[in-house]
Amino acid sequence: MYTGTKVLLVDDETVLSNGLEKVLTRRGMIVKTAPNGQQALKLLSEQSFDVIVLDVRMPGMNGLTMLKLVRQRNLNTPVILLTGHLDPNDMDEAIRVGVAEILFKPCSISNLVTSVESACNNQVLGK
């Protein structure tokens, strides 16, 4: 099944990121990866994506900061946060800024694929 959905996957856990990239690519998605927020922002300045899947806890710039920078750039790209745990205040902030969905690790591939497809249909929390 070819969807052609362009996904930016941002996670500092290389093994997880590579595994998700392979699975999503097999599902017909076009996936670019970045190990941190700075490299992800560089990719976003060079090309557009249909969805951003973003780890919350990363060295340097965390996922919430990156989400805010994406919105400050007036990018309406849906963002799915992927995290091991999230403080309730951070969850409220993510919803306020306009996250499409928050998924908790470990997350099944089927849930991630469903979330990516839903995000492409502009289902954004807090909007």
Closest by CA position to 93, among listed 50, 64, 55: 64
Structure tokens at 82: 């992927």
What pLDDT is recorded for position 1?
Answer: 46
**Local confidence band at 3 (pLDDT 50, 70, 90 cut-offs):** low
Does residue 30 have a pLDDT over 60? yes
Q: For 7-11, 54-58, 120-124, which range has the lowest pLDDT when averaged over its residues?
A: 120-124
pLDDT band at residue 8 using 50, 70 and 90 as cut-offs: very high
Question: How far apart are the C-alpha atoms of 3 and 16, rounded to whole Å?
Answer: 22
pLDDT band of residue 122 (cuts 50, 70, 90) is: low
pLDDT of residue 120: 77
pLDDT at 108 over 80: yes
Query: Residues 48-87: pLDDT tens digits?
Result: 999 999 998 888 888 899 999 999 887 788 999 988 877 8
For residues 61 and 36, is the Cβ–Cβ distance under 8 A? yes
Note the pTM of the prediction, 2 decimals: 0.88
Check the CA dihedral 18-19-21-25 and report its sign. positive
Domains along the sequence of the chain with CATH? 6-120 (3.40.50.2300)
| Per-residue pLDDT, 112 | 85
Pure H helices in 52-98: 63-72, 88-97
Question: How far, rounded to the nearest angstrom, does the alpha carbon of residue 68 sit from its chain's CA centroid?
Answer: 13
